[in-house]
Every structure is written in structure tokens, then in C-alpha cells.
């Protein structure tokens, strides 16, 4: 069964991204996207973004719609990867996007993250990915000092924020907690 999620702001506002609901994919809600991009509205222009557990690509596409110059999407599910590549093509975002079929945790361990202004992390819930990814990022000495990290997780999950990051903004909507971190190195 195909579903769609709407781009809520910027030059692509109102356009839709299709996704297969059977994949147990959990796209970021429009309310949470609105909160995130209100937090970033005055600084997102020309950002380089990483959408790590991309899924539908909704967060990275929203960033591009609102003025980010580039987004790298990392997705490990083959169906989601193919659907995301198709969405990027249909939305004419090929020149500002790279879509990679990779494991997100391995990718951030193996790649230089110093070129990113914003990391978008919406991992699958209940697998402790948020803890693992924050630990990897905490150990990474290449993050820009100005890099922001957006992460979503279940409000029922206890997530310890490493001391190399400080909480810039946070919001809970429904069962989802959203946190925007700043690199505090």
C-alpha cells in the first residue's frame, strides 16, 4: 500500500513523497518537521546535510526545499533506497543530493563528517540506534564546531546525551521526542 508524506515548506511545499507503509517505516510527522525547521529557519540556507537513516528522505528533502545546498541520504533498506532515489529524481533534486545504499552506523564510522552543518538522525525506534549513533559522533573529532544534530527517539527511551553535545532545543509530540544538539567541542 502506497502512502505519501507532504513537503511542508520552502520551494517544494505541497509536493509529495511516496512510500510503502508495509516497510514499517515511520516518517517524521509534519508537526515535528515544522518544529525542526522553525528552529533552523534563519540558518539552514546553504547547509550541507546528512540524512542518516533516511527512510522516505523526508527530513533531507525538506532541508533542500528550505535552502540547504546539499544532502547526502544514507538508507540500508533496499525498497526504501529505491523509492528514495525515485523521489529525488521526480522532485528534480539530483544535483543537490547523493543517495547511498549503506548501513548508517558503519557509514558515519568510516567517513569524514567535517563537511556537514546538520546531521538528521531519525533511526528506527527500539533498537538503541540513537545511543549507538550518538556514541560514534561523540568519538568523532572531525565534526564542525558549528554542526547541529537533530535526533528523534521514543519518549519512552532513556537517551544519555554525550557531554560533547549540548541540547539546543527539544520538543515532545505524541510518543516522539525531538532534540536539536549543538557540537560543544
Nearest alpha carbon to residue 109 among 76, 80, 132: 132
Q: Would you kindly state where each structural domain of the chain is located, as residue ranges?
A: 2-183
Compute the C-alpha angle 58/19/120, nearest 5°.
Answer: 25
Is the CATH number 3.30.360.10 carried by domain 2-183? no
Q: What's the CA gap between 119 and 23, in Å, rounded?
A: 23
64 φ, ψ (degrees, to nearest 5): -65, -40
Q: What's the CA gap between 34 and 30, in Å, rounded?
A: 6
Q: What is the pLDDT of residues 110-126, one digit of tens each?
A: 999 999 999 999 998 87
Please provide the average confidence, as pLDDT, over all residues in the chain. 92
Q: What does the pLDDT average to over 66-93?
A: 95
Residue 22 has pLDDT above 80, yes or no: no
Q: What is the pLDDT of residues 45-78, one digit of tens each?
A: 999 999 999 999 999 999 999 999 999 999 999 9
Q: What does the pLDDT average to over 13-20?
A: 88
Contact indicator for 38, 173 with CB cutoff of 8 Å: no
Determine whether 148 is exposed, middle or buried from the number of CB atoms within 10 Å of its CB (0-12, 13-18, 19+): buried
Q: How confident is the model at residue 27 (pLDDT cuts 50, 70, 90)?
A: confident
Nearest alpha carbon to residue 28 among 1, 5, 3: 5
Q: What is the pLDDT of residues 125-140, one digit of tens each?
A: 878 899 999 999 999 8
Amino acid at each position: 500500500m502506497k502512502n505519501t508524506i507532504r513537503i511542508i515548506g520552502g520551494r517544494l511545499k505541497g509536493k509529495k513523497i511516496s512510500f510503502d507503509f508495509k516497510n514499517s517505516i515511520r516518517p517524521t510527522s509534519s508537526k515535528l518537521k515544522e518544529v525542526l525547521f522553525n528552529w533552523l529557519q534563519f540558518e539552514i540556507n546553504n547547509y550541507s546535510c546528512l540524512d542518516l537513516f533516511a527512510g522516505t528522505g523526508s527530513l533531507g528533502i525538506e532541508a533542500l526545499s528550505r535552502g540547504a545546498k546539499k544532502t547526502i541520504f544514507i538508507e540500508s533498506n533496499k525498497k526504501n533506497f529505491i523509492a528514495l532515489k525515485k523521489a529525488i529524481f521526480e522532485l528534480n533534486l539530483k544535483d543537490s543530493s547523493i543517495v547511498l545504499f549503506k548501513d548508517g552506523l558503519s557509514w558515519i564510522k568510516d567517513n569524514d563528517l567535517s563537511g556537514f552543518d546538520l546531521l538528521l538522525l531519525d533511526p528506527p525506534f527500539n533498537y538503541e540506534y540513537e545511543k549507538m549513533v550518538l556514541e560514534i559522533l561523540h568519538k568523532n573529532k572531525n565534526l564542525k564546531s558549528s554542526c547541529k544534530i537533530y535526533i528523534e527517539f521514543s519518549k519512552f527511551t532513556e537517551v544519555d546525551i554525550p557531554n560533547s553535545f549540548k541540547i539546543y532545543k527539544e520538543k515532545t509530540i505524541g510518543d516522539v521526542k525531538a532534540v536539536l544538539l549543538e557540537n560543544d567541542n
